[in-house]
Amino acid sequence: MKTKLFAEIQPVAHGWLAVGDGHQLHWQTSGNPEGMPAVWLHGGPGSSASPLHRRFFDPALFWIIQYDQRGCGRSLPLGAIDHNETSYLLADIECLRKHLSIAKWSVVGGSWGGALALLYAQAHPDRVDRMLCRSPFLCTQAEIENFMEHPPEGCREPWEVLQSLVLKHPQQTVLEFGYRVFCLEKDVQQQAQLAQAWATYEAAMNVYPAQAPTLGLGGHEALIARYRVQSHYLWHRCFVGQNILAQAHRMSEIPLTLVHGDTDALCPFENSLNIQRVATQANLIRVEGGGHDLTDQGMLSATFQALTSWR
């Protein structure tokens, strides 16, 4: 039986928040302004807020806060990587909380958003009521190398298309080439070609072990911006220390739910096991046969059930 999310809703309010260095974050709120505040941290790096995400919350009970991270989605300037590092993103979350006059909120993050949620909770445990991390990314070099260089067999074909664009530069990895093309050079035609191949490959990894979808990739400008931000972060190992769980003791009082598919090709299931070892209060929901994709029926159902249990 398919899980039915809450009905589509439109934002109650939205705007842009200046956070310094020329960056303006686009934010939007939905649901009940008098309800329980919950912020959704989107993935990527380089993705954006989605109307789908707010459908996981009962709009009568929650005040749902979404925003686009620096350089992403409707935030300005699009694709900007100057003054765009993880420390800035964590400060931005606090800036948005204060702007919306929220004392304490629930935090939800998936994939890269899960990494941000973990880092934010360790930095500001007194501001987090509870937390859910879906398929969290831990920003390790091994995760990044597996994504960029060692796809599972089911994703090898789109990876080979991506790698073929690098063959003229045999001394470079896909990530090194991508960082140079997107962040250091100005060839828009080459950037568009690489962004399309990268998006197709990432989509295959996202849905693995299911069959890769046929994508409607959208405009070149948005794709180039997405992968400029993503390559910038991955090349710099997401601007984090050796272990993003180094201060896990600081979030020991925060109720934490982990939802993770055990066949995830992008963020391995072992990530959530590692989190649970240092955050022993965490409740881990293992989705058997689940991949990374939030819309996979098992992942969607587990995430929805976990969030609808919040009262």
CA distance 131 to 33: 20
Angle at 307 between CA 306 and CA 309, to 5 degrees: 70
Q: Which DSSP state fits 125?
A: G
Task: State the catalytic residue, choosing from 264, 272, 293, 301.
Answer: 264
Among the listed residues 48, 292, 296, 301, the single catalytic one is: 292
Whole-number Å distance between alpha carbons of 5 and 23: 33
Residue 304, helix vs strand vs coil: helix
Instruction: Respond yes or no: is residue 111 known to be catalytic.
Output: yes
Q: Is 87 a catalytic residue?
A: no
Question: Which stretches of 245-310 are DSSP H helices?
Answer: 270-278, 297-308
Output the CA torsion 156→159→164→168 (10° steps). Answer: -120
Q: What angle do CA 42, 159, 112 make, to 5 degrees?
A: 15
Tell me which of 111, 135, 231, 272 is the catalytic residue. Answer: 111
* Contact indicator for 132, 59 with CB cutoff of 8 Å: no
d(CA 169, CA 190): 14
Active site residue 68: no
The residues carrying an active-site annotation are 111, 264, 292
